[in-house]
Each structure stands twice: as C-alpha cells, then as structure tokens.
Structure 1
C-alpha cells in the first residue's frame, strides 16, 4: 500500500532526523523532553512505540521545527529543508488519520507481540490469542464512524486540514481504513496460518505434566506427523507418560531445557530415547523471533566502520561468539585450557602476518 509505505518511511526518517545530530537532539530534549525511538526493521512493535510518541507529542514536535525555521542562521541547509518538510507532514490531516489508525491497530497487536515473544510452550493459548486479535482487527471496520469522529475532533484541536472536500475525503479515508485492516488481517493469517502445527510443543510443557498424566492429548502427538520418520510414536507416548507420572520430574523440571539436563545428569537418556529426541527438537525449533533478533543486535556492534571489509566467514564467527557468550564462558570454566587450545589453532592458520606470543 503506497500511502502506508510512504507514511512509515517518513515516520522512520523523523526518528533518524534527531538521532543523527546532537544539536537537534538537544533541542528535542529542551522542547519535547522526550526522545523519539528508532524503528527497527526486524521488530514490528518498534513502529508502535515511534507512532505513539509522535501522536502524543505532535504539537511539541511542530514547535521544535518552528524553532529551527525561525532561526535559519543557526542551522545548516539540510536541517532547514528537512524541518520544513516534516512540519508540513505533521500539519496534514491525512498524517493524523494514519497515526490514529495504526495506533488503534498497534494497541491490539502489541499485546499479541508480547505473548509470542515469551518463551511459552502453551501453543493452544498462543493460537487462541492470534485468533482473538484477528477477530478484533476485523471488527474494527464496524467502528469507523466513531473513530472518524475522534479523528475530526483531534484535527480541530490541533488545527490540521488538507483543504479537500469533507465528504469525498471521508469516503476516501473509509476505503483506506478498510484496506489497511484487510491487509493486516490477511498478513496475520498467512503468517500464523500453520502455527497450530507446533502443538507438539505442549507435550513438554512442564507446568502441565500432572494434568497430562491424567489425560494424554493424542492430537498434540499427531501434530508431529511432519517429523514422523524420526520418531517411534508408540514408544514416544510411553516415554512421555512415564515422565508425566514422575513426581521428581514434576518438582525439579520447570522447562524443557531443565528436563533434558535432568535426563542427562541422571544418565537416563537411554531409558527414554524418544522423549529425549522430542526435547531436542523442541529446544531447536525457532517458535519465536527473539533468538533470531539477537543476531541483528550483534551485527550492529560487530559490523562497524573500521571492520567494514571483513569477509563473511570472519563476520559469522564473531557473531557466533557474541551471541553465544554465555556458552563460551561456561566452556572456559569447565575446561581451563580451552582458550589456549583455541589460540593454538588460530596461530597455525596461514596469514600474511606472523603471530608470536608467549
């Protein structure tokens, strides 16, 4: 949707406008007393925080740009041109309309975002929350009239106008409003349409072991059909029922990771081989994006200006070291000569400079 793409690009640029200059940031702190968060391309809710801040301080932001435009001798040409552009953008009723529209949508999607970012294994609850959120977004179409009334009141309070015919503008905005809701609803269905295939994660939800020991849910076992060639389902069910019935397991294990460690420490992995394979699968399925986003955060610190010519192999290795710092420190604790062995391997590689160390 071109209008929405242009809107978000401009909003992201507004956040970058202040962060790229300490002088602009200082003016923002003095007038607005609140900084604009940067929008991250990998995290949808960062747009939410940015738009909520713009919506809350729309008048104050225009005051910042007026200060810049009223003192042209104190600012460079780029700052003056961009300030004039952003001031015009914030003074448009169409901008206010999109801010309000997406703000209402984000109020619903942010709650879902927080649920899905948690390390939960209750997939049934997650699927229910997804369906509820989609239903709420679809019902928002029926609330356009009340939303538009609030929009007009806000435009009147802020003195915003586009100079267009009121009735034609209303019809056009109704059409845009419905298109936005339809687009987000369709995208969510496409993104989460196969989410219930992860129902097998509930088989190792340690918080429900006692409940599952009373009644085993075969439908969750059937969701493993995608991995059927790796499991012997009759043995897997027997292994799981045995774990569910163990009071020691229920008391000591609060997560799949703890359960797998418990099996390894007690040396009973061979006793429940199918359940062990299931735990390994569950712990490696990226059900949420949290672990993936860690790599982007690490990349920002690693791919600096002074390192912009490093090859892909070196960059990947540095990223792994940064992301897996906890495991690296554990290796150092468990194996005293770990760092020395790594250094020995490093200096043996062919390179243009010789490494001499003691």
Structure 2
C-alpha cells in the first residue's frame, strides 16, 4: 500500500504535510497550550512508515481541521518568532488547499479498510483461505470507495468552505 501511494507525487506531498502538522503543533509547550485551548486535543504523531499512526493522524485532522485552522491563526497573531508564524501560516494554507483536503478526505475513507486488512494479515496463525477472503473484502471495500469518489470530492470541497 505504501509503495502504491508513494507512486503519486501529490500523495507524497500530502503525507509529508501530514507529518509536518503534528510535528509543529506538538513540539512546543506554548503551541500545545494554544492547541489545547482551541482544539482541546493533541494530534497523534507517529513514524512515517507506520500506517496506523497515519490513520490516527488523518482521522484527527479530518475531525479538527476547522479548529486547527483557527489555532494556526491564533499562533500567527500571538507569537513573535517569524519562523513559528511562517510555519503556522504554511499549515493554514495547507489546511485550506483543495488538493490536501481531497487526499485527507480520500484517505479518511480508505485507511480504515487498510487498517482492517493489516490487522487480519498480522494474525499469527492465518489460513490461506482467510488471506484470500481478507484481500477480497479489501478489494470490495476499495471498489466501493472508488465508486463513491464523486461524494468524496464534494465532501473534500465542503471542508474548505467550513
């Protein structure tokens, strides 16, 4: 899955931006304080190679995107450090970028199926027929996501107008 996703430049940029957001938000006690005041939760930060961390980060960002946007605006106004203000402005641009929001919405719909497949295939004793069933179920789920791509596009564009 990782190799398939990394073949698309937009997806590579998306996951790079995805990792930058919790890194910026969680690496300063002052920024964590602003985040907690506005968003009331931390953003999960995990290794770039672990899908389960990306799943949690995607879900949290999807849920709190509008609040996080306000948080970044607050950081821009409160902080005097140019580097911090510039990074907060960059994150706000990312959060309002249609391409970022499309991939955020798309992976919000796809990643739960990836997580299910991953967990099924990680079982210690798994029969070949169960592997085939798990992969067949995954393919059906992804086909359903693909068939609903118009809805995902609308949902992603609605994120921008929040």
Please report the TM-score for the alignment, with normalisation by the length of structure 1.
Answer: 0.41
- CA deviation map 1:101-142 (0-9, x unaligned): 111111211111222233333342133112220232134332
Partner of 1:134: 139
Alignment partners' CA distance in 2, 1:41 and 1:62: 23
Alignment partners' CA distance in 2, 1:21 and 1:154: 27
How far the C-alpha of 1:155 sits from its partner, in A, is: 3.4
1:31 aligns with 2:38: yes
The answer on whether the counterparts of 1:39 and 1:47 sit within 8 Å (CA) in structure 2 is yes
The answer on whether the counterparts of 2:101 and 2:157 sit within 8 Å (CA) in structure 1 is no
SS in 1 for 2:134: helix
SS in 2 for 1:57: helix
Unaligned segments of structure 2, at least 5 residues: 1-7
Alignment partners' CA distance in 2, 1:152 and 1:85: 19
Q: 1:91 to 1:142 in 2, by over 3 A?
A: same
SS in 2 for 1:26: helix
Q: Of 29, 48, 59, which aligns to 2:55? A: 48
Q: 1:91 to 1:41 in 2, by over 3 A?
A: closer
Alignment partners' CA distance in 1, 2:158 and 2:16: 26
Structural mapping, 1:121-160, within 5 Å = 121-156=126-161, 158=162
- CA deviation map 1:4-24 (0-9, x unaligned): 101110110111112221221
Partner of 2:124: 119
The answer on whether the counterparts of 2:105 and 2:155 sit within 8 Å (CA) in structure 1 is no
Alignment partners' CA distance in 1, 2:21 and 2:138: 29
Alignment partners' CA distance in 1, 2:38 and 2:9: 32
The answer on whether the counterparts of 2:109 and 2:145 sit within 8 Å (CA) in structure 1 is no
Structural mapping, 1:5-84, within 5 Å = 5-73=12-80, 76-84=81-89
Q: 1:30 to 1:42 in 2, by over 3 A?
A: same
The answer on whether the counterparts of 2:34 and 2:75 sit within 8 Å (CA) in structure 1 is no
Partner of 1:85: 90
Partner of 1:201: none
- CA deviation map 1:47-99 (0-9, x unaligned): 111011111000111111111111243xx222111001001111122221110
Please report the TM-score for the alignment, with normalisation by the length of structure 2.
Answer: 0.85
The answer on whether the counterparts of 1:45 and 1:113 sit within 8 Å (CA) in structure 2 is no
The answer on whether the counterparts of 1:15 and 1:36 sit within 8 Å (CA) in structure 2 is yes
The answer on whether the counterparts of 1:14 and 1:86 sit within 8 Å (CA) in structure 2 is yes
Unaligned segments of structure 1, at least 5 residues: 159-358
Question: Which fold has the larger relative contact order, with Cα–Cα distance below 8 Å and residues 6 or more apart in sequence?
Answer: 2
Alignment partners' CA distance in 1, 2:152 and 2:137: 21
SS in 2 for 1:103: helix
